[in-house]
Structures are given as C-alpha cells and as structure tokens.
Structure 1
Amino acid sequence: MMQRSFIYFPTGAVEHRFGDMTFENDGASTTSIVLNKGQDKAIIYFGGNAENVAFTAPEFEQAFEPTLLEPELSELESSPYSVYLVNYRGYGGSEGSPSEAALLSDALALYDRLVLTHESVFVIGRSLGSGVATYIASERPLKKLVLVTPFDSIQSIAQKQFPFYPMSILLKDKFNSVERAGSIYSDTLILVAEDDKVVRRIHTDKLIESLVNRAPEVVLIEGAGHNDISQYSAYYQSISVFLNSH
C-alpha cells in the first residue's frame, strides 16, 4: 500500500563481520545480527524505519563491553548479554515486505523463541522499533523494556503533520503504543532526544502518561537529535545502568 512507503524505508543487505541468525515465521525468512552468542541473558533490538542494523552492531559491540555492563568482570571475560539486532521484513536481506502486522508477528515469535534459550530476554525499541517493543511488552511479561525516541502512535504523528487529512482512515499501520500501554507492567526506560524534530516531545509525553501501571524512568539526552542520539555517551550508559539494576 502507498501509505507504507511513508513509514518504511527498507535498507538492503550489506557485508559485515558479525554472526547471523535466520528465523522463519508465517512463510517469511528474516535475519538478525547476533553478538556474543550463547549468554544466559539476551537483548532484542528493534531499530528505526530507515536503520540498517549492520551499522548499529559495532556501536553495541563497543558499548556493551564487560567493564561497562559488569564492572567486576575482567576485560577478558565475555559480556553477559547476547544481542539480537533484528532486520525487519524487507530490510537487510530479510524476505517479504514490511507491515505492522508482519513486524509484530515476527517480533513476538522471535521473543517466544529466545525465551526458550535464555534465562532473561530484554527488549530495546528505537523510533519505529518502539512500537514493536511496546507490543511485545503488552503481550508478554517482559521484565525490562527500553524505548528510544518513542511515540504515542504513528497516526498521531501523521495527523499533527497533515491536519487536513483523515489519517485514521488513510493509515493502515498505526503502531498505537498508547492503546497498548495499559497492558504493560515492565520496568521501562525511555530515552528522549532533546532536539528531536521527528518525534516531537508531545508524542513521547503522551506515551509516558499512558504507562500507568509502572511509571517509566525518563532520561533526556541533552543536545541529541532523533537520528544521532546513540552517538552521545549518555545513551548507552543509561541503557547499561538500567539493564543491570535490580
């Protein structure tokens, strides 16, 4: 559908030095980049609508060093987390075409698979991925949830930008995180970019207000924009501290 061309900007496959995992769901094969395979704890990362996770993987590799996540570990010991960076359908060599229904189905199926092989599975969702991560948290008893530059709904953002168009009718893929927030009981960290021109603060605040079961921890990354928030040291530091808190 044409409306999806305004939401999804698939990135092609690129060569990288990391491990891959292929996952089948509903007749489509998707891939995830896997870092530090075989750990007891795992992180699933859902990226933005134009993100190539092959370029995000080195950031995770550098940031999630054992001395940062577990200070008592020596530099020679492994990080305690396996990290799965998801290529949505149509992204990074994954089969199919992206849609809300497909992304949510794939995400939940992947989560259900990984909880069988890891004692704990945490979820990080950035921008578009926050809508995917919020869905998982509303459907499963997720212990820790990280939302980066999240929104209330895609429909709300589009309606604000195009007030004279009936977005409730025009948009099929709404990613209505606010509607799902009432079913979320996870410990939640929300990272806000101070200079975000894509997801305005009003949309993030609506989501924050809707997380009524357990108030989220909110961290403002000063000076950051929507697309460069992960380049600020406070970004991964905040995530690391949150995931290792009890």
Structure 2
Amino acid sequence: MKKIKLAFILLALAYLAANIYLYTQQDSLIFKNEKAVKIELVNEKNIKEVTFKVEENINLYGKYKTSNKANAPLILYFGGSSSDITGFFNHTQDINDFNILGFNYRGFIDSQGSPSQNKIFKDALNIYDTYAKDKEVILIGKSLGTGVVSYLASKRKSKAIILITPYDSISAIAKGKYPIFPIDLLLEHKFESIKYIQNVTTPIALFEVKNDLVIKKQHFDNLKSNIKNIFSYEILEGVSHAKVMTHIDFEKKLKEILEKTKNSQ
C-alpha cells in the first residue's frame, strides 16, 4: 500500500511539474523569436526600412514597399512565429500595384521588447490606425499572423483578408498536443482565430499546405468551416508549412487573388 501511495504521489508531482513547465515555457513554445533568422532583402527597389514606436524605448522594425501607382491600396502583412517579415517582401517582388507594409513582432528580428498575444494585438491596432486608417486595406497573415489578422479584421475595416496556413486557435492546437493538461487554464496566448473570424464580413482568401505537419488539417478545416465569405481557396502541394512562400506558384496565385480584390465592392 505504501508503494502504491508513493507511486501516486510521484505521479502527481510529475503531472504538476509538467503543468508548471508548460505554463512557464509557453512563450518560447509559441513565439520562436530566438529561432528567427535575419533575411537579406533580394531587391531593394521602392523598399525602405521603417520603425514604429509602440511604447517608450520599444520600437518595431519593418519594411515599406511603395507602389508607383497613385492611390494604391495598402497591404498590411503579419508573419509567422519564427519569421523575418523581409521574407514576404522577397516573395512579392512582382506585386507592384500595392503598397506593402510589415513589422516584426516585439522581440523578433531588430524589434525591441518581448512578445505576447495582448501586446501583438495592441500593436496591430496601432499600426493600422497609424498607417491604414481611411485607406483601402488588404490584410495578409501567415501562420501565427493569421490569428493577428483575424483579430484585427474583427476590429477594423478591410477590403479583403488573405490567410496563409491559418488555424482555428492556438488553444485547440495545444489541446491536441497535450490532451491531459488543463490548457484553458495554463495558456495565456490563445489566438482564437475561430472566435474573431465569425465577426468578419470581409471577403477572405485561404492558402492551405497539403499535408501540413505544423497546422494539422483538422485545425485548418475547423476554421474554414466557420468562414462564410471565402472568395478564393488555394491548396499548395510539395512544400512545407515554413517554406510555403517558396512554392513555385505562390506569388502568381497571390497576385491573382489581389487582382480579384480590385473588382470587389
């Protein structure tokens, strides 16, 4: 009986330790800023470096591509969990009828501070209100950034939304990975795209990676089934989640989707 009791105590302690680990390490599990690698800009034409002050002594680093076209719409881009926004500019070199703006999240390449869901959401609203207010805006997010865009789109006006490898929520993904733990109690950064997207009436385009090993199909499909206003849906094969923008057809398909937004009301 004493051995059984001891085993139970040890098991309970191990479970408690695992909960503590998940709670204290969630930032590094979600925001992989330490793994982000700085990317060199392939073509600097019409692209300038910009900084945006979000708090005292905290500036975000970004890039701004200006179109030669008068009154060009503005694309606001939000990247993934371990990315440098420069990569998006390298894969949109032929998109010249739009202004494009993107910032690295707090704590990511050349941006100061530390990331959290609430801080990223707050910064997204401030970026929109500073650069996009009263403009024709297209919101684009990749992976983690699709959660940011879903939130932003529920709070601000946009002409179209493009979600690249989106998910229903970080909470749902975590529950799938750690089913025996009380994720709702432990997780501070839930990124509940499925909650926010239901309040969005803007036309939405989706990019899915076939056999995505990061965003399981069930999480993509769950989000997709809750979107009523899909105007474009692309499935890319033979590419990984992280390398989706390197797909040979990515820029062409993105350009086609953006062309469709010009004709939408």
Corresponding residue number in structure 2 for 1:6: 29
C-alpha separation in 2, matches of 1:92 and 1:54: 10
Alignment partner of 1:201 out of 196, 217, 241? 217
TM-score by length of 1: 0.86
What SS does the aligned partner of 1:19 have?
Answer: strand
Please identify the structure whose Cα radius of gyration is greater: 2
AA partner of residue 224 (structure 2): I
- In the TM superposition, residue 37 of structure 1 has moved relative to its aligned partner by 5.8
Identity over aligned pairs, percent? 27
Greater shift, 29-38 or 44-53, is seen at 29-38
- Cα offset, 1:125, TM superposition: 0.2
Indicate if the aligned counterparts of 2:78 and 2:103 stay in contact, CA closer than 8 A. Answer: yes
Distance 1:59 1:215 in 2: 23
Aligned residue among 92, 95, 103 for 2:112: 95
Structure 2 match to 1:220: 235
Please name the residue that 2:74 is paired with. 42
Alignment deviations for residues 189-240 of structure 1 (CA, whole Å, 9 cap, x no partner): 000001210001110111111123x235321112222112111232222221
The residue that corresponds to 1:25 in the other structure is 54
Q: 2 CA distance for matches of 1:198 and 1:244?
A: 29
Structure with more of its chain in helix, by fraction? 2
Q: In the alignment, is the contact (CA less than 8 A) between 1:12 and 1:91 conserved in 2?
A: no
Aligned counterpart, 1:76: none
1:51 corresponding residue in structure 2: 83
Output the CA distance in 1 between the equivalents of 2:27 and 2:200: 27
Bigger mean CA offset, 36-45 vs 192-201 = 36-45
Residue 231 of structure 1 corresponds to 246
User: Aligned residue for 2:256?
Assistant: 241
Give, in angstroms, the shift of residue 9 of structure 1: 1.2
How many aligned positions are there? 229
The correspondence of residues 102-121 of structure 1 with structure 2, limited to 5 A, is: 102-116=119-133, 119-121=135-137
Q: 1:178 aligns with which of 194, 201, 215?
A: 194
Pairwise CA distance, 1:55: 3.4
Q: Kindly provide the amino acid, as one letter, of the partner of residue 113 in structure 1.
A: T
**Letter aligned with residue 88 of structure 2:** T
The structure-2 alpha-carbon separation of the partners of 1:105 and 1:38, relative to structure 1 and needing over 3 Å to count, comes to farther
Deviation string 1:57-106 (CA, Å, 9 cap, x unpaired) is: 22222x42xxxxxxxxxxxxxx2211112211011211110100111111
Greater mean deviation of Cα atoms: 8-17 or 123-132:
8-17
1: CA distance, partners of 2:120 / 2:132? 18
Q: Which residue in 2 is equivalent to 1:141? A: 157
Residue type of the alignment partner of 2:119 = A
Indicate conservation of the 8 Å contact 1:124/1:146, yes or no: yes
Higher relative contact order (CA 8 A, sep 6+): 1
CA contact (8 A) 1:14 1:92 kept: no
Aligned residues of 2:165 and 2:208 also touching (Cα < 8 A):
yes
After TM superposition, the score normalised by the length of structure 2 is 0.80
SS of 2:106's equivalent in the other structure is coil
- Which SS does the other structure have where 1:45 is aligned? strand
In structure 2, give the amino acid aligned to 1:242.
I
Residue identity in the other structure for 1:35: K
The answer to which of 50-59 and 164-173 deviates more is: 50-59
SS in 1 for 2:60: strand
1:84-142, Cα deviation, whole Å (9 max, x unpaired): 122110112111101001111111111122224x7312111000000001111111121
Contact 1:114 1:121 in 2 (8 A): no
CA RMSD of aligned residues (A): 1.9
Tell me which stretches of 4 or more aligned residues in structure 1 moved more than 6 Å. Answer: none
Structure 1 unaligned segments of length 5 or more: list them: 65-78
Give the corresponding residue for 2:97. 80
